[in-house]
Chains A and B, each alone.
Chain A
Amino acid sequence: AQKVTQAQTEISVVEKEDVTLDCVYETRDTTYYLFWYKQPPSGELVFLIRRNSFDEQNEISGRYSWNFQKSTSSFNFTITASQVVDSAVYFCALSETRGGSEKLVFGKGMKLTVNP
């Protein structure tokens, strides 16, 4: 069965620090997608990134970067120079395609608090 593990439950940093959020996944599928979503205190789920299992190229978007390593089944997320607005719960998710539709399997989430 698909599984996503976010070992860290909570991290607290000071503004401008870099922080890395770990994500390890398990799947028997050869084709799959990995995602990161952000859940700010207001509660909505905000899509951050989707990565295809065949694309191991790391990605950078502004202060955000993602490191996908198939060999270790990891898809880690780094925030550089963190800001207070980055405070949120971050979820890593894995897609599972069955019966012609896709469901997302989420990790338990990691609460990031960025203090001024």
Chain B
Amino acid sequence: EPEVTQTPSHQVTQMGQEVILRCVPISNHLYFYWYRQILGQKVEFLVSFYNNEISEKSEIFDDQFSVERPDGSNFTLKIRSTKLEDSAMYFCASSAGEPTDTQYFGPGTRLTVL
């Protein structure tokens, strides 16, 4: 069964460093998303991406964040200068041909900022 994959599973970085979180969505899916979950809290929407551009972004998704689909398979989230409060689990999701199709989530990347 096709699934969303994410790498790395755990990333530890120093405050102020740049990190790139990688995702491989389900092939033939057209809509891509990033969410984050601070430990013990609810899952929060960050950004949606379709047709090589951002469809919507939340207030959390400020200028420190960017997304890219560098090739036909990867979808990345970059945080330019990490802060302590960026420590969280980051989930990538993808959905098929319609925006209302079910979003399938990857296993997540746990980001720890020291």
A binding-site residues for B, Cβ under 8 Å: 33, 35, 37, 42-47, 50, 91, 93, 95, 97-109
Contact = CB atoms under 8 A, between A and B. Distances in A.
B102 A44 contact: no
Query: 4 smallest A-B Cβ distances: which pairs?
Result: A101-B55, A45-B105, A101-B48, A103-B45
Interface string B31-63: 101010000011111001110000110100000
Contacts of B43: 45, 91, 93, 104, 106, 109
A2 B109 CA distance: 27
A51 B43 CA distance: 19
Nearest to B6: A44
Nearest to A37: B105
Given A99-B56, A104-B43, 6 more contacts: A43-B89, A43-B107, A45-B105, A98-B56, A103-B58, A109-B42
A8 B95 CA distance: 29
Contact of A43 (B42, B45, B50, B108): B108
B105 A107 contact: no
B41 A102 contact: no
28 contacts: A33-B100, A35-B102, A42-B107, A43-B110, A44-B107, A44-B108, A91-B42, A95-B100, A97-B99, A97-B100, A99-B56, A100-B50, A100-B99, A101-B50, A101-B55, A101-B56, A101-B99, A102-B95, A102-B99, A102-B100, A104-B35, A104-B43, A104-B45, A106-B43, A106-B44, A108-B42, A109-B42, A109-B43
